[in-house]
Amino acid sequence: MLAEETYKFRNYLQEQGIIFCYSGYMTEEVLSGIGNAIKRKLELEHTDRQTAKGVFSIFVEQVQNVIRYSAEREGGEVEDDPAEIRYGVLTVGRKDDQYFVACGNLINNHDVDRLKKSLKQIKELDKEGLRALYKETLKGETPEGSKGAGVGFIDIARRATNGFDYDFMDMDDDRSYFCLKAFV
């Protein structure tokens, strides 16, 4: 029974093309550990070096977003609480000859509009537009209104050679569920 359940779960993940799956509290140590395993797996598959770098970069930005911004957290009652940990779900896989990195976490409802707006803006930009926005954001010259177009999302968009999708789902009065999946 136990083996059957776990095996079914494993098969479900494999059907989705998922190579790595982590659901839980994310920390910098988790990032290091999974990151090294992803690197090693991509090397063993003889993945093109630049593709591997793209997958890895997107993985780092996604996990660091959860570590910093997920609205599902333990601790953190005081600001910059070093004991604070935040929850998210991460999958890395390959389907139809593309790698993907998907990540989901809860966010506060008051951040939804801002995030939707900046992701919509990023998704509509071409290569040159992304490059310009990336630089503006790095220099802190982001024009009013596109504030919060975190440099992390722009970086993901630039490295996602096959694009990215995102989605929001209403949860309750306070929180929504947010997911972003990038393809390389």
Partner 1 sequence: MENLKIEGTDRAPEVDFNFENNTFALRGESYPEDITAFYGSVLDKLDEHLSSQNGATIRFDFELIYFNSSTAKVLMGLFETLDEAAENGNEVLITWTFEADDDNMEEMGEEFSEDLEHAKFEMKSIEE
Contacts to partner 1 by CB under 8 A:
28, 32, 36, 49-50, 53-54, 56-57, 60-61, 64, 131, 134-135, 138-139, 150-152, 154-155, 158-159
Tell me the closest approach of the beta carbon of residue 103 to partner 1, in angstroms: 15
Phi, psi of 140 (to 5 degrees): 70, 25
Alpha carbon of residue 80 to chain centroid: 22
* Closer residue to partner 1, CB minimum distance, 102 or 154: 154
Tell me the closest approach of the beta carbon of residue 134 to partner 1, in angstroms: 7
Q: By CB neighbour count within 10 A (0-12 exposed, 13-18 middle, 19+ buried), where does 127 fall?
A: exposed
- The whole-angstrom separation of Cα 64 and Cα 71 is 13
* Closer residue to partner 1, CB minimum distance, 106 or 156: 156
* Closer residue to partner 1, CB minimum distance, 28 or 113: 28
Q: What torsion do the CA atoms of 171, 27, 100, 43 make, to the nearest 10 degrees? A: -170
Instruction: Find the length of the chain.
Output: 184
Tell me the closest approach of the beta carbon of residue 70 to partner 1, in angstroms: 17
Give the pairing of strands 175-183 and 85-95: unpaired
* Closer residue to partner 1, CB minimum distance, 88 or 150: 150
Tell me the closest approach of the beta carbon of residue 14 to partner 1, in angstroms: 29
* Closer residue to partner 1, CB minimum distance, 90 or 176: 90
* Closer residue to partner 1, CB minimum distance, 134 or 176: 134
Tell me the closest approach of the beta carbon of residue 50 to partner 1, in angstroms: 6
Q: What is the b/e burial string over 3-32, where b = at least 16 CB atoms within 10 angstroms of the residue's CB?
A: eeeeeeeeeeeeeeebbebbeebbeeebbe
Tell me the closest approach of the beta carbon of residue 76 to partner 1, in angstroms: 16
Contact assessment for residue 130 and residue 158, using Cβ atoms and an 8 Å cutoff: yes
